[in-house]
Chain A
Amino acid sequence: MKVHEYQAKAILAEFGVAVPRSRAASTPAEARAAAAELGGRVVVKAQVHAGGRGKAGGVKLVNTPEEAEAFAKGLLGTRLVTHQTGPEGALVPMVLVEEALSVARELYISILVDSVSKTNVIMASEAGGMEIEEVAAATPEKILKEWVDPLMGYQASIGRALAYGMHLDGGLIRQAADLIEGLYRAFIARDCSIVEVNPLVVTEDGRLLAADAKINFDDNAMYRQKAVAALRDTTQEDPLEVEATTTGVNNYIKLSGNIGCVVNGAGLAMATLDTISLFGGAAANFLDIGTVNNVDRVISAMRILTKDPDVKAIYFNIFGGMARVDVIAQGLVDSYKQLDVKVPLVTRLTGNGLEEGRRILAENGIAVIEASDMADGARKAVAAAAGR
C-alpha cells in the first residue's frame, strides 16, 4: 500500500524524524492560508502516488501566498502525468505547502528488505536528489549499506557509520544518527516495505531535514496496521481494482490488453498472461481467484470483467486442486444468470471436479470454447478477442 508524501512525513514525524514545516491543502484558499502561515516563500507540491512530480510540473517554489494559491488552483483536481503514472496520469487531490529550504547538500537514505541477505538494509548516499537506480548504476561506490540484525535490533553505531560515511561533521553526525534511528523505528513499527528519504537535506543553517518522503507498506501486515490502512486513497487506484477489493477479489490488476483472465493461483495467472502474449495477444487484467471454493467469488470476478469495456473475450484457466472445477463452473452458470455477458468465453479446465464441471456447463447451456491446454487456451482466447 502507498501513501502520499504528506502522510508519510506525518508518520516519520511521530518517530522523531525532522521534517520541514508544512501544511496539506485540498483547496486553493487553504494553500494560500498555509503559505501565509509559513512565511510566504514556500514550495507547493502535488500529492500523487507517483514519483517524477518535479519534472512533470507538479512542484513549484513560490514567493507569495497569492502565487501559492494560483499554482494550487492549477493543480488541484487535475491529473498529473509523470513517468510513473502512465498517460492517464494521477488525480491531484491535495497539495503540500512547505517552507522553502536553503539547501547546502542533498543526501539519500532508504530502508528496505535486502533480497540477498533477507534482512533489513539501510542505504545512504551523498548523491541525493537523483534517482537512486541511476546512482547505483553509474557510481555504486557512492551507496553505503548497513544491515540490521533482526534479533539484535537497531544499534546506534549503524547510524553513526552511515553519518560519517556521508562525510557529515559536527552536530550533523548526531542529527543524522537520530534521524536514521527514527526512520528505522518507523519502518518496523508500521510494517513498511520501503522508507525512502530523497533528498535528505542539509540546510545552510546546519539543519538536517527529510525534504521528501516515500513510504510503501506491507499489504500482509494491514491486519495489525489499522491506522495505516485508513490512510488509503482510492483516488490513486484504478476504479475497477478498487471495486475488486470491495467484493473479495483481492488479486486483480487492470492491464492494457483485451482478454479478461480468471485463473487460480498467482503463478499460473502470471504464466497465463505470458502465454497470451506469446500468441500475440494481451491480457486486460491479472486475476488470481485463489484456492477458496466460493461460487460468489467467481461471480464477483465476472462482474469486474463485464464492467471492463476493454474486455473482448474472457479466458478461464483453472487447475482444479483445492479449488474445484465444478465450483468454478457453478459460479460461471450463476454469473450468466445475473450478468450480461456479451463476449466469448474460452475455458481451459483441468484437475479435480473436471467431469462434474463440464456437465454443469453443458446442462445449463453455457457456450464455451474449450481448450485442451494452456497454449491452446491462449491461442483460442487471442482469436476470440480478435473476433475470429
Chain B
Amino acid sequence: MSILLNRNTRLLVQGITGAEGSNHARLCKAFGTNIVGGVTPGRAGQEVDGIPVFNTVDQAVAATQANASIIFVPAPFATDAIYEAVEAGLKLVVCITDGLPTWEMVKVKRYISGKDVVLIGPNCPGIISPPEKAKAGIMPASSFMPGKLGLVSRSGTLLYEAAAQMTAAGIGQSTAVGIGGDPVVGTDFVDILKRFNDDPDVEAIALIGEIGGVAEQEAAEYVKANVRKPMCAFIAGASAPPGRRMGHAGAIISGDSATADSKLKALSAAGAAVTRNPAEIGKVMAELLASRS
C-alpha cells in the first residue's frame, strides 16, 4: 500500500504543453504512473508523448475519469489551476509551482478546508510511491526504492538527499512526500504523519523539517500522542541567521519557536531519533531499525 497515490491513480498534468510540464509528464509516465491526460487552454486535440491534451479540467475528467492532478503552470495562474482542479472533483492535487503570493495560499487553504481533496504544495517536489510505481512529482526516481519507510520533507532536494541515504542503507520507501517550502501549504506534516501512522505497510517514518513556522512543533505534538513506529528527524537551518529568508519563503527565523534547535528538541522529546548532521539521516534510521529488531 501507499498513501495518497497508487497504481489506480489516474493523473492529469495541468500545464502539460510547457517545458517543465511536458518533461515531467514524460518522466512520471516512464516511472509507471498512469497519466491519463493533460490540460492547456486552447490546446485540445494535441498530444504530448501520446498523452491527450484537453482545454479544461472538467473536459479532461469527463473523457478520462482522472482523479488526481499535478500542476506546472506559472505562479500568476496557479491559484486558478488549483481552483479548477478542486471544482472538477479531483481528490488529489499536487502543485509544483513555486512563487505563489502568500495571500493566494491563505485563500486557497480556507477554500479547500472541509472539502474532500488533498492539496500538496505549492513550491514542492510532489509525491512518489516506489512500490506502486507511481509518481506525481519532479524527484529523480533513481534515488528511491520500494520499501516500508514513510518519508516527508518540506524541502525538495533534502527529500532526495534523505531518500538516497535511505536507499544506500537498504531502507526502501513506501511513499515519500515533499509538502513544500512556503509559509502556507495545502498539507502540513501532521496530515502526512497521520496517514503514515495509520498505514500498516509503513513501518518507520523519517521527517525532514526546516526553520520557520510551527509545523515541526505541531508534528511533535502529534507524534508524542500517537506515533509508536520508529521515527527519525532532521531540521535544516541550525546555522541560519535570524530574520533572513533562506531560499524558501517559509524558512525564516522570527521568534524562538522558529529555530532548528526548538524544533529538534520538540521532536526529540516526542520520541524521534534526531540528528544535527544531514549526512547521517540514513545512518540514524538504520541504527534505529537495528536496535528495534
A273 close to B101 (CB less than 8 A) = no
Residues in A neighbouring B277, C-beta threshold 8 A: 274-275, 278, 375
Q: Are B75 and A270 in contact (CB under 8 A)?
A: no
Tell me the minimal C-beta distance from A221 to chain B in angstroms. Answer: 4
Contact B276 A223 (CB under 8 A): no
In this complex, the member of A151, A221, A265, A278 whose beta carbon has the largest number of chain B beta carbons within 10 angstroms is A265
User: Among B7-15, B48-56, B139-147, which stretch is in contact with chain A?
Assistant: B139-147
Q: How far is the CA of A149 from the CA of B113 in the complex (A)?
A: 12
- Specify which of A218, A220, A221, A275 lies most central, judged by the most chain B CB atoms within 10 Å of its CB: A220
> Which residues of A have CB within 8 Å of B184?
113, 118
Residues in chain B near residue A373, CB distance under 8 A: 279
**A interface footprint on B225-252 (CB within 8 Å = 1, 0 otherwise):** 0000000001011111101111111010
From B99, B213, B248, contact of A267 by CB (8 A): B248
Contact A271-B161, Cβ < 8 Å, known A113-B102, A115-B183, A374-B278: yes
Evaluate contact between B107 and A151: CB separation under 8 angstroms: yes
Which residues, 162 to 186 on A, are CB-close (under 8 Å) to B?
A: none
- The reply to whether A268 and B161 contact each other, CB–CB distance below 8 Å, is yes
Q: Are B276 and A265 in contact (CB under 8 A)?
A: no
A374 and B103 CA atoms in complex are apart in Å by: 36
In this assembly, does B153 line the interface, its C-beta being within 8 Å of a C-beta of chain A? Answer: yes
Interface residue count on the A side (C-beta < 8 Å): 56
Chain A residues with Cβ below 8 Å from B246 are 253, 266, 269-270, 286
Residues from chain A with a CB closer than 8 A to the CB of B37 are none
Interface string of A375-388 (1 = CB under 8 A from B): 11010000000000
Which chain B residues lie closer than 8 Å to A151 at the CB level?
A: 107, 110-111
Contact call A267/B210, Cβ cutoff below 8 A = yes
**What is the chain B residue whose CB lies nearest that of A136?**
B255
Q: Is A16 part of the contact surface with B, judged by Cβ < 8 Å?
A: no
What is the distance, in angstroms, from A72's C-beta to the closest C-beta of chain B?
28
Shortest beta-carbon distance from B64 to chain A in Å: 27
CB distance from B261 to the nearest CB of A (A): 11
Q: How many A-B residue pairs have CB under 8 A?
A: 169
User: Using Cβ atoms and an 8 Å threshold, which residues of chain B touch A118?
Assistant: 105-106, 109, 184
Q: Which residues of A contact B276 (CB under 8 A)?
A: 274, 278
Contact status of A350 and B156, CB under 8 A, knowing A115-B183, A150-B106, A322-B138: no
Chain A residues, Cβ within 8 Å of B263: none
Instruction: Say what secondary structure dominates the interface of chain A.
Output: mixed
Closest to A378 in B: B279
For the complex, what is the distance from the CA of A113 to the CA of B240, rounded to whole Å?
22
In contact, A116 and B278 (Cβ under 8 angstroms): no
Please measure, in the bound complex, the distance between the C-alpha atom of A264 and the C-alpha atom of B244, giving whole angstroms: 18
Question: Given A267-B210, A319-B160, A373-B279, are A283 and B138 neighbors across the interface (CB < 8 Å)?
Answer: no
CB pair B279–A351 under 8 Å, yes or no, is no
Q: Is the CB of A321 within 8 A of B160?
A: yes
Residue of A nearest to B109 (CB): A118
Contact-residue bracket for chain B: 35 or more
List chain B residues, Cβ under 8 A from A274: 236-239, 260, 276-278
User: B158 near A224 (CB under 8 angstroms)?
Assistant: no
* B101: nearest chain-A partner, CB-CB: A221
Which residues of chain A in 116-130 are interfacial with respect to chain B, using CB atoms and an 8 Å cutoff?
Answer: 116, 118-120
Give A253-294 interface residues, CB cut-off 8 Å to B.
253, 255, 263-278, 282-283, 286, 288, 291
Q: How far is the CA of A322 from the CA of B98 in the complex (A)?
A: 15
Which chain B residues (153-195) contact chain A, with CB distance < 8 Å? Answer: 153-161, 164, 181, 183-184
Minimum CB–CB distance for A38 against chain B, Å: 33
Is the Cβ of A219 less than 8 Å from the Cβ of B208? no
B247 touches A269 (CB 8 A): yes
Residue of B nearest to A252 (CB): B247
B223 at the interface (CB under 8 A from A): no
Is B236 within 8 A of A265, CB to CB?
Answer: no
Contact of B157 among A115, A255, A321 (CB under 8 A): A321
Besides A115-B183, A274-B278, 13 more A-B contacts (Cβ < 8 Å) are A84-B243, A118-B106, A118-B109, A119-B109, A191-B102, A220-B249, A267-B153, A267-B156, A273-B237, A274-B236, A274-B237, A350-B164, A376-B279
